[in-house]
Amino acid sequence: MEKNTQFNKLEEKSKEYYMHLNLINEILRHDILNDLTVISGAFRLYKENREEKNLGMALDRTNTCIETINRMRDLELFFSSHTDLTIYSITDVLEDVIKRYPSITFNIEGQSQVLANECFTSIFENLISNAIIHGKTDTIDIKIKTDAKYCKVSIADEGIGIPDKIKKKIFDKDFVYGETGKTGLGLYVVREVMQYYGGYVCVEDNTPKGTVVTLVFRKVK
């Protein structure tokens, strides 16, 4: 009976992993095909009129393709990784991520350590890139606070904000909103990873404008 139970558990895990791989393939096919269609059209227009804006459009969509592929890599890594969590310094990870955005002003307060794995960097990469690309912010304030049980990391931007009607939907894997028309896979990855860490993520308005995303981790004892 015990062997049957173990077999059933392994079978369930295999089915779940297969489902996740199908999701990754579906998004790759859908999003990248759409971007390649736009890139092809932009080059065709440039060939006809030699307007630089068409090259800019092609470059933007090429970067979007790269971003999508990186998100898929992170998602696949998360679903296939069952390694034990280890201690990470939040400030060390943040310092590494923010180097990629030299034109953005970052203010970081506090420091702490949390239990995480290889996906930890991807959480901040997702949230920061979303604030810049979709929120249109040029300033990001990050505050790290701890209490007896939890470590809270608040990432506040001064961008255009998120409408109330979609705040509860932005972490869904197939949510689409805004001018990019992209899936919400990046934020879906954040939610799934945080749950794996035993924590959660929430979003609220910043004052006077923008958005605050808060990550809540279990405090390292």
Per-residue model confidence as pLDDT tens digits over 21-53:
776 777 677 778 878 888 999 999 999 999 988
What local confidence, expressed as pLDDT, does residue 26 receive?
A: 72
- Helical ranges in 99-159 per DSSP H: 120-133
Q: How confident is the model at residue 6 (pLDDT cuts 50, 70, 90)?
A: low
What local confidence, expressed as pLDDT, does residue 108 receive?
A: 97
What local confidence, expressed as pLDDT, does residue 88 receive?
A: 92
Residues 6+ apart with CB under 8 A from 24: 72, 75, 76
What local confidence, expressed as pLDDT, does residue 92 receive?
A: 95
157: nearest Cα among 212, 91, 102: 212
Q: Is the pLDDT of residue 129 over 90?
A: no
Q: How confident is the model at residue 188 (pLDDT cuts 50, 70, 90)?
A: confident
Q: Is the pLDDT of residue 17 over 80?
A: no
Rounded to an integer, the average pLDDT of 137-161 is 95
Percent of the chain residues topping a pLDDT of 90:
36
154: nearest Cα among 94, 75, 103: 94
Q: How far apart are CA 115 and CA 49, in angstroms?
A: 54
Tokens at residue 174, please? 């197939």
Q: How confident is the model at residue 205 (pLDDT cuts 50, 70, 90)?
A: very high
Q: How confident is the model at residue 176 (pLDDT cuts 50, 70, 90)?
A: low
Phi, psi at 219, each rounded to 5°: -70, 140
Q: How confident is the model at residue 182 (pLDDT cuts 50, 70, 90)?
A: low
The more confident residue out of 99 and 81 is: 99
Q: Is the pLDDT of residue 184 over 60?
A: no
